[in-house]
Amino acid sequence: ELKVEQNPLFLSMQEGKNYTIYCNYSTTSDRLYWYRQDPGKSLESLFVLLSNGAVKQEGRLMASLDTKARLSTLHITAAVHDLSATYFCAVDILGSGGGADGLTFGKGTHLIIQP
Amino acid sequence: GAVVSQHPSWVICKSGTSVKIECRSLDFQATTMFWYRQFPKQSLMLMATSNEGSKATYEQGVEKDKFLINHASLTLSTLTVTSAHPEDSSFYICSARVAGGFSYNEQFFGPGTRLTVL
What pLDDT digit, counting tens, does each position of B39-98 carry? 988 999 999 998 888 889 999 899 999 999 998 888 999 999 999 999 999 999 999 987
Beta carbons of A21 and A5 less than 8 angstroms apart: no
Q: Are A105 and B110 a contacting pair at CB < 8 A? A: no
pLDDT in tens, A21-43: 999 999 877 689 999 999 989 89
The minimum CA-CA distance between A18 and chain B, rounded to whole Å, is 24
Residue in chain A closest to B2 (alpha carbons) equals: A45
Structural Rg of chain B based on CA atoms: 14
- For residue B44, which of A87, A28, A47 has the smallest C-alpha distance? A87
Q: Does A65 touch chain B (CB under 8 A)?
A: no
Asked if A65 contacts A52 with a C-beta cutoff of 8 angstroms, the reply is yes
Which of A42, A49, A56, A105 is the best substitution to test chain B (most B C-beta atoms within 10 A)? A42
Taking alpha carbons only, the member of B97, B4, B66 closest to residue A101 is: B97
Chain B neighbors of A98, CB-CB under 8 A: 103
Distance CA B68, CA B55 (A): 10
